[in-house]
């Protein structure tokens, strides 16, 4: 499969009164055509900044210090605002956490979905109406013909997020970036939107970047997972590799802190807090929270070690001289649970 996006050694800082915040510190990844990549990490790890940089929607005080964002052969870091306007919403679309802020309360749904169609695709009224209906059906909004004449406040939160997804997909983008699209919704609606994302993944050929702080939702939605910590990708692999053979102690912590299926609450939290990105540590940023940290972790940031052709992790534990460490027992118990839950998916589908 060919790559639609290649991010290479991206470094982004923010100017603040307290100094320069080193928010993104050497992020590299690629996105293949049609795949869903999940980016997972705690609050402040840099998920939104990474995704907004692809859309070139960073705030005024942001600096792209270094790196490339190659989309369809073109480096978006060097693109002009005019070039970005032709890409945004048309070839790369983004949906956010809170559907209400993305919708215009004074416009009907039909008008909001047709706008990008008229603007980017030069569709006439009949064409855009047809496409609007098709999109609302695709995202599972009931009675689309009647409901497209209504306004955002006449819909529930989950329905609004479906509408936002329909708008994002209107021009058939190459990439859809979903930044925590379910966080503002209640749990049952979250599950429905995740189910929709999964269905869409099968029906359309758009590549998806799915951002979440909840590793629990990833297995069902994504093909690959990138785990982010303090402005870096610390582990990257297929869903199977990251769930069943996690290598980074931070990934172990995330796996252990997933809510259990029975209680829906988490029994474990990774101790400590992320580093201050005004003055990032010179070694492994996770070292102070890592019970397996070694001397080198405080001195030198680990490179990405290769585990397989799709699986990488940045931890000195993978160095050939490091002691062999088994993930904690807690992780193994969690893996068993998830193996059961996702048995259908991981056994080539079919039975539960």
Ligand X SMILES: Nc1ncnc2c1ncn2[C@@H]1O[C@H](COP(=O)(O)OP(=O)(O)OP(=O)(O)O)[C@@H](O)[C@H]1O
Which residues are near ligand X by CB under 6 A? Answer: 14, 16, 21, 23, 41, 43-49, 59, 61, 213, 277
> How many angstroms separate the CA atoms of 85 and 177, rounded?
16
Residue closer to ligand X by CB (options 14, 252) is: 14
Select from ligand X, Mg ion, none the partner in contact with residue 277, using the beta carbon and a kind-dependent cut-off of 5 to 8 Å.
ligand X
CA distances to 36, 246, 308 from 241, in Å = 15, 6, 9
Query: Smallest distance, Å, CB 233 to ligand X?
Result: 12
Residue closer to ligand X by CB (options 273, 298) is: 273
CA distances to 141, 150, 153, 191 from 146, in Å = 11, 8, 15, 26
**8 A C-beta contact, residue 57 and residue 89:** no
Select from ligand X, Mg ion, none the partner in contact with residue 21, using the beta carbon and a kind-dependent cut-off of 5 to 8 Å.
ligand X
**Binding stretches for Mg ion (CB under 5 A):** 48
Residue closer to Mg ion by CB (options 92, 287) is: 92
Select from ligand X, Mg ion, none the partner in contact with residue 59, using the beta carbon and a kind-dependent cut-off of 5 to 8 Å.
ligand X
> How many angstroms separate the CA atoms of 255 and 214, rounded?
9
Residue closer to Mg ion by CB (options 3, 97) is: 97
- What are the tokens at 39? 């980016």
Residue closer to ligand X by CB (options 44, 173) is: 44
Select from ligand X, Mg ion, none the partner in contact with residue 7, using the beta carbon and a kind-dependent cut-off of 5 to 8 Å.
none
* Closest chain position to Mg ion (CB): 48
Query: Smallest distance, Å, CB 81 to ligand X?
Result: 19
Residue closer to Mg ion by CB (options 102, 114) is: 102
3-state secondary structure of 170: coil
Query: Smallest distance, Å, CB 253 to Mg ion?
Result: 19
Query: Smallest distance, Å, CB 115 to ligand X?
Result: 27
Q: Give the chain's length.
A: 352
Give the residue ranges of DSSP H helices in the chain.
47-55, 81-87, 99-102, 109-121, 125-138, 144-147, 157-169, 187-203, 215-221, 239-244, 249-256, 329-341, 343-346
Select from Mg ion, ligand X, none the partner in contact with residue 36, using the beta carbon and a kind-dependent cut-off of 5 to 8 Å.
none
Residue closer to ligand X by CB (options 43, 265) is: 43
Select from Mg ion, ligand X, none the partner in contact with residue 283, using the beta carbon and a kind-dependent cut-off of 5 to 8 Å.
none
Query: Smallest distance, Å, CB 236 to ligand X?
Result: 16
φ/ψ bin of 207: left (φ > 0), alpha (ψ from -120 to 50), beta (otherwise)? beta
> How many angstroms separate the CA atoms of 319 and 119, rounded?
53
Select from Mg ion, ligand X, none the partner in contact with residue 49, using the beta carbon and a kind-dependent cut-off of 5 to 8 Å.
ligand X
Read out DSSP for 275-293?
PPTTS--SS-TTGGG-TT-
């Amino acid at each position: 499969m060919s790559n639609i996006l290649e991010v290479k050694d991206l470094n982004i800082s923010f100017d603040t009164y307290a100094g320069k915040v080193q928010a993104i510190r050497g992020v590299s990844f690629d996105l293949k055509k049609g795949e869903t990549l999940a980016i997972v990490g705690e609050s402040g790890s840099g998920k939104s900044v990474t995704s907004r940089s692809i859309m070139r929607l960073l705030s005024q005080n942001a600096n792209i210090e270094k790196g490339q964002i190659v989309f369809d052969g073109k480096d978006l870091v060097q693109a002009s605002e005019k070039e970005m306007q032709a890409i945004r919403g048309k070839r790369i679309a983004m949906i956010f956490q809170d559907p209400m802020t993305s919708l215009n309360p004074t416009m009907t749904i039909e008008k909001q979905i047709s706008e990008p169609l008229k603007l980017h695709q030069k569709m006439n009224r009949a064409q855009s109406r047809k496409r609007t209906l098709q999109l609302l059906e695709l995202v599972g909004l009931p009675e689309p013909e009647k409901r497209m004449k209504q306004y955002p406040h006449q819909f529930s939160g989950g329905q609004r997020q479906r509408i936002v997804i329909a708008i994002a997909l209107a021009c058939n983008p190459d990439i859809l970036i979903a930044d925590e699209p379910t966080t503002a919704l209640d749990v049952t609606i979250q599950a429905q939107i995740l189910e929709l994302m999964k269905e869409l993944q099968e029906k359309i050929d758009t590549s998806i970047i799915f951002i979440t702080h909840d590793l629990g939702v990833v297995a069902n939605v994504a093909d690959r997972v990138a785990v982010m910590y303090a402005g870096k990708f610390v582990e990257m692999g297929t869903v199977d590799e990251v769930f069943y053979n996690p290598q980074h102690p931070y990934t172990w912590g995330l796996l252990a802190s997933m809510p259990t299926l029975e209680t829906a609450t988490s029994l474990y939290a990774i101790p400590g807090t992320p580093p201050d990105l005004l003055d990032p540590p010179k070694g492994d940023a996770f070292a102070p929270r890592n019970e397996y940290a070694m001397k080198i972790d405080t001195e030198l940031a680990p490179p990405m070690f290769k585990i397989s052709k799709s699986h990488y992790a940045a931890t000195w534990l993978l160095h050939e001289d490091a002691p062999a460490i088994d993930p904690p027992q807690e992780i193994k118990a969690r893996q068993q649970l998830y193996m059961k839950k996702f048995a259908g998916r991981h056994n080539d589908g079919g039975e539960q």
